[in-house]
């Protein structure tokens, strides 16, 4: 394990990397690395998602490791809104500060920046305040090692968590296992020329295929959809519709026994957070087998 740096630096995630799933994984990689390397982390890039998680709800700076003093969640959110733009130039403004921006280099070519590499080690030693910008920062080893702490930080707040847990309890009363189905349509119609876009009927076909793998399981499917779906497609299947909110759906998927969905950091985070096996739905001709359900703990 890499030892902590002599004088702890502060690293600031100063740019937003996509939507919820991307930002959660980016946060988690830096959190894991911070625990291993001994630096402090500030994550204002969580921004609009910060009020939904226990670790960030009352902290306008989304610091990690967390702090004891907390604000009223609404005041914290207002502070993030005001301070957010300043963090984009934080490395320039702060004395002894620097900026590491990989958006036009590694992000552009789908490369990977190793947070345990010599360059990042050097930057932590040179800069007391380092603003990072980009998506492809990675530390797979420590992400897995520090899963428990990260999962606890990103536990949804009680007002979201409790209704979801009640919904899962209701779903379990109708079968032996609950399989979460992430239906992502909307933006997937155009992303990568629609290669991972599937009509609701296709998802229903896969659900029927899974239900026939082992008749003794008697599965209940919890469907979390990005857009309204035609529920008549699920005729003959035991189906419960998900909460319908982004955070609620994400938490619901993480509580299922197994998950299936197209390639997405959303369902991958549910697998990582809940330690549940996920089957990636890659193409229309795909056949589902039990071995396709595997734990995903990185992106």
Secondary structure tally for the chain: helices H, strands E: 10, 13
Q: Per-residue pLDDT tens for 79-138? A: 777 776 666 665 555 556 789 999 999 999 999 999 999 999 999 998 888 999 999 999
Q: Is the peptide bond before 83 cis (omega within 30 degrees of 0)?
A: no
What band does 188 get if pLDDT is binned at 50, 70 and 90?
confident
Which residues fall within 8 angstroms of residue 167, CB to CB, at 6 or more apart?
A: 222, 240, 242, 243, 252
CA 31 to each of CA 80, 120, 169, 172, 266: distance values in angstroms, whole numbers, following the listed order: 19, 15, 32, 34, 18
Pairing of strands 137-138, 113-114: parallel
Q: Per-residue pLDDT tens for 168-177? A: 999 999 999 9
Q: Per-residue pLDDT tens for 237-260? A: 999 999 999 999 999 999 999 999
Please give the helix or strand (H or E) that residue 13 lies within, else none: strand 10-13
Please state which architecture CATH assigns to domain 158-295: 3-Layer(aba) Sandwich (3.40)
| pTM exceeding the 0.85 threshold for the entire prediction | yes
| pLDDT, average across residues 43-48 | 91
Q: Is residue 289 exposed (0-12), middle (13-18) or buried (19+ Cβ within 10 Å)?
A: exposed
Query: Among the listed ranges 43-47, 187-191, 250-254, which one has the minimum average pLDDT value?
Result: 187-191
Nearest to 296 by CA among 17, 15, 28: 28
Q: Per-residue pLDDT tens for 150-162? A: 999 999 999 999 9
pLDDT at 2: 43
Q: Where are the domains of the chain?
A: 10-153, 158-295
More confident position, 155 or 44: 155
pLDDT at 80: 77
């Amino acid at each position: 394990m890499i030892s902590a740096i002599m004088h702890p630096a502060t690293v600031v995630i100063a740019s937003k990397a996509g939507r919820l799933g991307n930002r959660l994984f980016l946060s988690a990689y830096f959190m894991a690395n911070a625990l291993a390397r001994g630096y402090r982390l500030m994550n204002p890039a969580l921004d609009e998602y910060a009020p939904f998680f226990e670790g960030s709800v009352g902290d306008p700076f989304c610091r990690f490791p967390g702090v004891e003093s907390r604000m009223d969640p609404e005041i914290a959110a207002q502070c993030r809104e005001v301070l957010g733009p300043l963090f984009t130039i934080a490395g320039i403004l702060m004395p002894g500060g620097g900026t590491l921006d990989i958006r036009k280099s590694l992000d552009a070519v789908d490369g990977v920046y190793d947070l345990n590499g010599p360059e990042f080690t050097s930057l932590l030693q040179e800069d007391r305040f380092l603003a990072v910008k980009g998506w492809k920062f990675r530390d797979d080893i420590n992400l897995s090692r520090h899963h428990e702490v990260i999962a606890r930080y990103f536990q949804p707040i009680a007002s979201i968590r409790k209704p979801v847990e009640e919904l899962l309890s209701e779903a379990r009363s109708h079968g032996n296992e609950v399989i979460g189905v992430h239906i992502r349509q909307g933006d997937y119609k155009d992303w990568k020329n629609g290669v991972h876009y599937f009509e609701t009927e296709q998802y229903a076909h896969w659900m029927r295929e899974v239900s026939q793998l082992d008749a003794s399981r008697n599965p209940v499917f919890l469907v979390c959809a990005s857009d309204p779906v035609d529920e008549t497609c699920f005729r003959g299947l035991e189906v419960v519709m998900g909460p319908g909110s982004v955070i609620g759906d994400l938490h619901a998927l993480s509580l299922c026994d197994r998950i299936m969905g197209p390639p997405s950091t959303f369902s991958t985070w549910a697998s990582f957070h809940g330690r549940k096996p996920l089957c990636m739905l890659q193409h229309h001709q795909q056949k589902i087998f039990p071995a396709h359900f595997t734990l995903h703990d990185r992106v």
